[in-house]
Chains A and B, each alone.
Chain A
Amino acid sequence: MKRRNFLKNIAAGVAIPSLVNGLGVRAYASSPFSSFLNGLTTDTDHVLVIIQLGGGNDGLATLVPLDQYDRLYNARANVLVPENDLLPLTNTTTLGMHPALSGLQNLYNDGQVRVVQNVGYPNPSLSHFRATDIWMSGSNADEYFPSGWAGRYLAYEYPNFPIDYPNPDMPHPLAVEIGYSMSLSLMGPQTGMGFIISNPDDFYQLLAGIQTPAPHTPAGEQLAYVRLVAQQSRVYAQSIIDASGKITNQKTYPDTPLAAKLKIVSRLIAGGLKTRLYVVSIDGFDTHDQQVDPDNHALGEHAGLLQDLGDAIKSFCDDLSFLGTADRVAGMTFSEFGRRIASNASGGTDHGEAAPMFLFGKPVEGGISGSNPQLPASPTLDDNLAMQYDFRSVYASVLRDWFCVPQDDVPAIMLHDFPFINLFQAGLPCVSTGVHDANQAAGKSLLRCWPNPVRTSMTLEYTTAGGPVAIQVLDSSGKIVATPVNTWQAKGNYQVHWDAGDLPPGAYFCRFMNNGQQQTKTVVKV
C-alpha cells in the first residue's frame, strides 16, 4: 500500500537521525568502542596540529634577516630588536630568531623546525576578516569558498561523514578545535567537520565533570539540569574523557593558555584518539602599537606572544617525545598576514603581506625553505614583502606528504593546482591503504559517483529512503551548477547518468539530499 511506503519512508527519516545522533554516552560507553580504544597503540594515522596566530604576526620581527639589518633599521628603528639580542640558528648566518623564541630556536637547532619563508598569495587582502577567510578556505583573493581546506580534506578522507558517525572505523571526532566556534578551516562542503571545545575551561569541565555555576533560582535549577544532560549527551565526550584519562603523566608546560591547549592535545593524541586534526589559536598579534617595550625592544607585547608560542611548542614537542607520539605528530603555524616593513609612529606595525610559516615536530625536515625577504633600500610605509611561496603550496604539501593524499587527488581538495614544497623528511611511512580504505567506507554511503575524475558522463548511484530526492552539483563557491536529479522516488537504489561535459575542469561537490539527510561527495572534472 503506497501510503504505508510513504509512512515508512517518512518514519525512516525520523529514525535514521536518531540512530546517527542518538548515540548517547551511556550507549556509547558500553559499546565495543571503549575496549577498542583501550587496545589502541601508537601506530595510527598522522596528526596535524594547526596553531593560528590571530591578528597578523610580524614576520620580520620573528625571523630577522641579518643580511639586511641596516635596511630594517632604516624602516623600523622604533620596534627593531637589537642585533646582538637575536638568537642564532644552525646552518645559517643570515637569519636571527626573536630572543623570545628560545624554545623554537632549541627545536630548530635540533632539526625539528621547518621555516617556510615569504608565504602569501597573489593580491593579498589586508582585511583581517577577509584574509583569515582566505587562509582558512584556501581561496584566491577574488573568490569566496564557503568551506575550509582542512574540512575538505576530512570530507575527502571520510566521505560518508556525518551519516552513521561515530562508528567503529572512526569512533572519534575527525577534528578537534579548541576555540570559540567552528572556524572556516574545518567547515566541510556541507557541515562542520570538527568537534568544538568552546574554551579550555569548558574542556576542563568536560574532563572533570564539573558543573558550570548556575544561579540558585528556579531558572538556574532548570539550567543545571539541561547542562547536565548536555554534558552527558555530547556524542564524542566519552571518548575524549577516556583518552584524556589514560594519560596521567606529562611533561611540564608553561602556565599559558596556548600551552594549556597544546597539553590537552598531546594528551588526547597519546590517549589514543584517531582524530587527525587539532586546531588551536593564540590571538593578539595585531600589534599596531606598543609592539615592543620602548626601553628594551627585546621585550613587550610581541615578545610576550612569541615567548608563549615558542615555549608552548617546545613543551609540546618534548611531551610528544616523552609520550612516544612524536613520530606521528606535526605542527604548523599560520597567521592571516605579516606586517609592514616600516613601523608606524605608534611603536607598532600595520597590516602587511608575506610572512614566514613554521612547521614543527620530528617528522619535518629541519631547515629553511626559501630565501630571506628582500627589503628596499629605504622602505616606506607602503612597502610590503613579496611572496615566494603560496600558502596553499604548504597545505598541498602537508596533504601529500603528511596525510599521504595521492598527488593527483590534492587539487580536488585545494580546488586549484599548487606546486609542492618538500617540508617533511623523505621516506616517511604513510599509513597503510587499509586505513584509508576503512575511512572511505566508514559510515553509510548514500551516494556513489564514478568515474571520478570524470571527462563527460558520470554515473551517480544513490540510495533513497523514498520521497523527494535531489542531487545538486556545486562549484567551489557553493553555487549550484547542475541538478542531475530532482524528483520524487520510492525507496530504493537508483542510477542516473549525468553529462558533465559542459562544466569547466575543476573540483565540484555532488550534494545528495533526501529524507532530511545530506551527503556530499567530491568529484573532479578533467
Chain B
Amino acid sequence: MSHLDRRTFLTLGTKPHQPSPATADQTLERLPAALEQKLALRAAGPPTSGLTKYTGPWTRDEAIHLTRRALLGPVKADVDYFLGKTMEDAVNEILYAPFVPPAEPVNDYNNPDYTDPEVPFGASFLNASYDPGAEFYRAESVRAWWVRQMMGSDRSIREKMTLFWHNHVPVQFYETQFGSMLYRYNKTLRENALGNFKTLLRAITLDPAMLFYLNGYLNSKFAPDENYGREIQELFVIGKDLPAYFTEDDVKAAARLLTGWRTDGFSVFFFANEHDTANKQFSAFYNNRLIQGRSGPGAGDAELDDFLDMLFEQPEAARFVCRKIYRFFVFHDIDAQTEQNIIVPLAQIFRDNNYDILPVLDVLFKSEHFFDILNRGAVIKSPVDMVIGLFRCFNVQLPGNADLLDNFFISLQTAYRMSDMLQIPGDPPNVAGWQAYYQKPALDKIWINTGTLPRRGQFTEAMVLYGIFGLNNRAVIDALAWAATLSDPANLNALIDESLALFLGLPVSQAVIDSLKPILLSGLPNESYWTLAWELYEADPSNEMVAGAVRQRLQAFLWRVLQMEEYQLS
C-alpha cells in the first residue's frame, strides 16, 4: 500500500507555545468554600488525596465533573440523570453499561465528483475489494462515522476510552488509507476498550492496519524490520519515561520474534518460512529471558504470547498505562506524590486483575482524588472534548439517514474543524499519539496557542450563529430549544447559574456573572424583564418577533460564555 504524503494536511497548525510560568500573587476570585479551605492548607500543585472511595457530597458540581471527564459533555440531561443516583451507581453505569455495537458505516460519500464503482450509495463498503481510487472516500467515511459515534455516544465511557486507546496504539488514516481496514482497527479498539489490555494489545499487534502502519507486514527473517518491535516496548507497554529500560538488543530480538506476519488488509496470515526460528535473548531488564524460537504454523502465535507475557511481567508496564489513563482523565502533572499515592496503587490493581481495564477505572473514578476540588477544571479540553462536547451539550442534530451525503459531509467538516485545533480522530501526528498527552512539561497546554484558540472561538461562534452546513442541512445550535431544557429558563439567575456550571471549568466571580445579565436584559436592571420575555415566547413560540427577541439575547449570551477562557477548562 502506498504511503501517501498527506502530512501537510495535518500540520497546518502553528507550533505549540511553551507554558508560561504561573503569575505570582494572583488574588482569589470567589471560590468554592471547600477549595478555599484547601488553599489555606497548601500551595498550588496536584492534590494530595488518594484512592480511598469518595464519600463526600454528590451534588450538581460533582455530577458535572464526572460527566465532563468520563463522557463528552456535560449534557444537562445526563447530569440530572446521574443526580438521581448515588455516585457509585453513576460511575457503575458509566463503566459497566452493556455494549451495543453501532451500525456499520456505509457508502454515504458518492457525490457528483465521485462514484464508488463497486459499492452502491447506502451499501456497506466493508467487504468491497481494495480500490485505490475509492479508499480515500471510504477512509473518510469511517472517520466521519467515528465522529458521529462520539456525537451520539450514550452515558458510557466507551467512546472516550476508544479515543484513549487510539491515542495509545495509533494508526494514521492518511498513512494506511483503506476504509474497511481502518474500520476494523476502530472496531477492535471499541470492542476492547473496557476489556483486557493484554487482549487489546495482542489484537492490535496483529491488526491489519497496525501491520501496515508500523511495517510489520514487511518484517521477515531475511530483512527484519524493527519498527513495531521498538514501538510496542517504547510507546505501547513499557514507555520511555525513564532512560535505558530496555536495550537495542531487546528491540532487535522483538523484531525477530515478530517476523512472518502478513496481511492483505482483510485477514492476517502467518508465513512460517519468513519467521526467524532462532531463540530470542532479552536483556537483564527482562530478567535475561530467553524466548525459545519456534517453527511451523503456530510459531508466530506462541512466540508472541511469550513476548507479551514477558512485557506484562514488568511492573513498569502497568504504571506506564496508568499514568496515561491518569493524564487523559484526571490531570497532566504527575509529581512524586501522585506517583506514589495514585499511580503505584492503580498499577497494582491493574496487575492484580491481569490487566483488566475496568477495575482500574472503577477505583479511579470513585476515588477521593478524582473528586478532589483541586482536580476540577484543571484539564484543558482537548479539541474532541470541546467540539464533540459542544454538539452533545446542545443536542445539535445531524440529518442522519434522511440525507446520508450531508450527514457524511457535516460530520467530516466537524472532524476537519478539530484538525484546525490539532486533533483529528484517525490522525494523531505520529505513532506516539498527540503531544498533549505526553510532551512534558506543556502537556495539555499544547492544545492552546495563538492559532488554535481563535479557531476554538470561531467554531463556537459559528455553531451559535449559523452552524456547519452541508448541501441541504445545517448543524447549528438551537438556542431556544437548549434554553428550554434548563431547569428554570424563565429565571435569569437560574439560567446563568446553570449555564455557567455546565460550561465553565471554574466558578467565576460575581462581577462576571453581573456582566452577563445585561446581555439577557439589554442593560435593564429589572430581572423580571427576562422572565416576561421568556414567558411571552413560551406562550407563543411561533411568533418570530417574540422568539427572535429571546433567541437573539440567548445567542449573544452563549456567544459570550463560550468565548470565556474558563470554557476551555474541563
Q: Which residues of A contact B (CB under 8 A)?
A: 1-3, 5-7, 10-11, 13-15, 17-18, 21-22, 24-26, 52, 54-55, 127-130, 132-133, 142-144, 146, 179-184, 190-192, 198-199, 211, 213-230, 232-235, 281, 283-284, 286, 336, 466-468, 470, 477, 486-490, 513, 516, 518
Cβ-defined contact, B44 with A217, below 8 A:
yes
Cβ-defined contact, A223 with B560, below 8 A:
no
Assess whether B396 is interfacial by the CB under 8 Å rule: no
Assess whether B127 is interfacial by the CB under 8 Å rule: no
- Chain B residues, CB < 8 A from A179: 518
Q: A488-B471, A518-B466 are in contact. Are A226 and B448 (CB under 8 A)?
A: yes
Cβ-defined contact, A232 with B112, below 8 A:
no
Cβ-defined contact, A468 with B409, below 8 A:
yes
Q: How many Å lie between the Cα of A13 and that of B14 in the bound state?
A: 17
- Chain A residues, CB < 8 A from B557: 181
Cβ-defined contact, B506 with A225, below 8 A:
no
User: Which of B163-171, B478-486, B490-498, B562-570 binds A?
Assistant: B562-570
Interface centre among A18, A215, A286 (most CB of B within 10 A): A215
- Which residue of the partner chain, among B45, B134, B417, B466, contacts A218 with CB atoms under 8 Å? B45
- Which residue of the partner chain, among A128, A468, A518, contacts B524 with CB atoms under 8 Å? A128
Cβ-defined contact, A15 with B133, below 8 A:
no
Cβ-defined contact, B413 with A13, below 8 A:
yes
- Which residue of the partner chain, among B19, B450, B505, B526, contacts A25 with CB atoms under 8 Å? B450
Chain B minimum-CB-distance residue to A148: B552
User: Which of B27-35, B96-104, B189-197, B257-265 binds A?
Assistant: B27-35
Q: How many Å lie between the Cα of A489 and that of B448 in the bound state?
A: 35
Assess whether B137 is interfacial by the CB under 8 Å rule: yes
Assess whether B311 is interfacial by the CB under 8 Å rule: no
Cβ-defined contact, A216 with B26, below 8 A:
yes
User: Which of B202-210, B274-282, B343-351, B542-550 binds A?
Assistant: B542-550
Cβ-defined contact, A130 with B19, below 8 A:
no
Q: How many Å lie between the Cα of A5 and that of B111 in the bound state?
A: 13
Q: A10-B416, A211-B23, A213-B28 are in contact. Are A22 and B454 (CB under 8 A)?
A: yes
- Chain B residues, CB < 8 A from A283: 518, 523-525
- Chain B residues, CB < 8 A from A477: 544
Can you offer 25 A-B residue contacts whose CB atoms are under 8 A? A1-B133, A10-B412, A11-B8, A13-B413, A14-B12, A14-B416, A17-B420, A21-B454, A22-B451, A128-B522, A129-B522, A130-B546, A144-B545, A213-B27, A216-B39, A218-B45, A218-B374, A223-B377, A223-B565, A224-B20, A224-B23, A225-B445, A233-B450, A477-B544, A490-B113
- Chain B residues, CB < 8 A from A132: 522
Q: A130-B549, A229-B449 are in contact. Are A181 and B560 (CB under 8 A)?
A: yes
Q: How many Å lie between the Cα of A219 and that of B377 in the bound state?
A: 5
* Contacts A199-B515, A470-B471 known; 15 new A-B pairs at CB < 8 A: A5-B113, A22-B454, A144-B545, A180-B516, A190-B465, A192-B559, A211-B23, A213-B27, A215-B39, A218-B375, A220-B26, A225-B448, A229-B448, A281-B523, A488-B471
- Chain A residues, CB < 8 A from B568: 226
Q: How far is the CB of B412 from chain A (nearest CB, A)?
A: 8
Q: How many Å lie between the Cα of A313 and that of B20 in the bound state?
A: 42
Cβ-defined contact, A13 with B544, below 8 A:
no
Q: A129-B533, A129-B553 are in contact. Are A516 and B450 (CB under 8 A)?
A: no
User: Per-position contact with A for B417-430: 1 when CB-CB < 8 Å, else 0?
Assistant: 10110000000000
- Chain A residues, CB < 8 A from B304: none
Cβ-defined contact, B29 with A215, below 8 A:
yes
In the complex, chain B residues 43-58 whose Cβ is within 8 Å of any chain A Cβ: 43-47
Cβ-defined contact, A129 with B549, below 8 A:
yes
- Chain B residues, CB < 8 A from A7: 6, 9, 136
- Which residue of the partner chain, among A52, A216, A488, contacts B44 with CB atoms under 8 Å? A216
Q: How many Å lie between the Cα of A25 and that of B454 in the bound state?
A: 11
Assess whether B472 is interfacial by the CB under 8 Å rule: yes
Assess whether B470 is interfacial by the CB under 8 Å rule: yes
Q: How many Å lie between the Cα of A128 and that of B524 in the bound state?
A: 8
Q: How many Å lie between the Cα of A184 and that of B552 in the bound state?
A: 8
Assess whether B286 is interfacial by the CB under 8 Å rule: no
Q: How many Å lie between the Cα of A457 and that of B451 in the bound state?
A: 43
Q: How far is the CB of A432 from chain B (nearest CB, A)?
A: 34
Assess whether B17 is interfacial by the CB under 8 Å rule: yes
- Chain A residues, CB < 8 A from B29: 213-215
